[in-house]
Amino acid sequence: MKDFIAIADYSAKELQEFLDLAVSLKTEWKNGGNKPIFKDKVLAMVFQKPSLRTRVSFDMAMRHLGGDALYLSPAEIGLGKRESIADVARVLSGYVDIIMARVFDHAHVEELAKWASIPIINGLSDYNHPCQGMADALTIYEEYGDMKGLNITFVGDGNNVAVSLLHICAKLGANFTVATPKGYEMPVAGLEQGKKFAAESGSSVNVLNDPHEAVKNADVIYTDTWTSMGQEEETKKRQAVFPPYQVNAALVAEAKENVIVMHCLPAHRGEEITDEVADGPHSRLFPQAHNRLHAQKAILVKLIQ
């Protein structure tokens, strides 16, 4: 396991091993702390986009495991602008043990992986968000004890978060339904890959435009912001299109009685999700956010050891 670029790169067995390791590391941490197995190990965190959860969770993951992390801001590196990605990858490979990159263009993280001689973790790209997908699966796994046969519904923009969620659901046997407005569907390549994984695991993928139909019989309802970073010029247009896809109490009531609601955060409360739902009994928003820490510990351990 050299890199962690996409959920699609891993088998169902390997993904389950990540989850089981995350559970083990989380339990160890709760019972007094993790063993300092990363003594003298350093993670370089390369950011093109601002972040709260990605930065803090990776930093604390390294600290909990006895290592250290360096934050490299957009101004410090200027990835692909001030210096070529190939040069950045080769320079950092001589200084640190592993790199996490949060980028706009998915090709940038792929190029880092091509030129680096140390592991690369995709902390987010415009195509996918595999670290979020692992934390999402960990949250669902903790709630239900298994992914197989569950009904997971994503409501909103068919974005990078939806791609990684689809892939891990399909790999681990959960049925995935996505409801998006017309024109905001998931990327074709990501969707087709997800369908292939679902066929292999015996699960299903359903693509709809009606959020009410999508949440029927759902065990999990997942949503995300209507406008992602880099799409700010589309904000007004999107705010006119997406209101029917708001996850509110009425929509949640159409799902299973014990449905859980998830959101990768940051949330634009009053837009894609209401306060009543985000802070209500169905919400798992904050356990989900906290699971970024534990899922990423598992990724780091698998790549560094």
pLDDT at 74 (0 to 100): 85
Question: Which residue range forms the structural domain that includes residue 232?
Answer: 132-288
Planar angle of CA 196, 230, 158, nearest 5 degrees:
30
Catalytic residues: 102, 129, 132, 224, 264, 292
Measured torsion, CA atoms of residues 255, 197, 123, 2, in degrees rounded to the nearest 10:
150
Residues 120/109, Cβ–Cβ less than 8 Å: yes
Q: Please report whether residue 1 resides in a domain.
A: no
Specify whether 245 is located in the same domain as 170: yes
Q: Please report whether residue 259 resides in a domain.
A: yes
Instruction: Read off the pLDDT of residues 269-296 as tens digits, 9 standing for 90 and up.
Output: 999 999 999 999 999 999 999 999 999 9
Q: What is the mean pLDDT of residues 197-208?
A: 98
230 pLDDT higher than 80: no
Specify whether 271 is located in the same domain as 231: yes
Specify whether 90 is located in the same domain as 158: no
Q: What is the mean pLDDT of residues 35-39?
A: 98
Q: Give the number of other CB atoms < 10 A from CB of residue 184.
A: 17
pLDDT at 305 (0 to 100): 81
Q: What is d(CA 186, CA 160) in angstroms, rounded to the nearest whole number? A: 8
Specify whether 49 is located in the same domain as 66: yes
Specify whether 141 is located in the same domain as 119: no
Q: How many domains does the chain have?
A: 2
CB burial of 39-65 (b: ≥16 within 10 Å; e: otherwise) equals eebebbbbbbbebebbbebbbebbebb
Q: Give the number of other CB atoms < 10 A from CB of residue 115.
A: 17
pLDDT at 223 (0 to 100): 98
Planar angle of CA 5, 46, 162, nearest 5 degrees:
40
R_g of the chain, CA atoms, integer Å: 19
Q: Please report whether residue 263 resides in a domain.
A: yes
Q: Please report whether residue 138 resides in a domain.
A: yes
Q: Please report whether residue 40 resides in a domain.
A: yes
Q: What is the mean pLDDT of residues 263-274?
A: 97
Q: What is the mean pLDDT of residues 104-122?
A: 97
1 pLDDT band (50/70/90 cuts)? low
Specify whether 167 is located in the same domain as 282: yes
Q: Please report whether residue 157 resides in a domain.
A: yes
Tokens read off for 41? 């190990």
Q: Please report whether residue 87 resides in a domain.
A: yes
81 pLDDT higher than 80: no
246 pLDDT band (50/70/90 cuts)? very high
Question: Residue 41 belongs to a domain with what CATH number?
Answer: 3.40.50.1370
Specify whether 280 is located in the same domain as 298: no
Specify whether 93 is located in the same domain as 57: yes
CB burial of 241-277 (b: ≥16 within 10 Å; e: otherwise) equals bbeebbbeeebbebbbeebbbbbbbebeeebbbbeeb
Specify whether 191 is located in the same domain as 228: yes
- Judged by DSSP in three states, 1 sits in coil
Instruction: Give alpha helix (H) positions in 118-248.
Output: 130-144, 160-171, 188-201, 211-215, 235-241
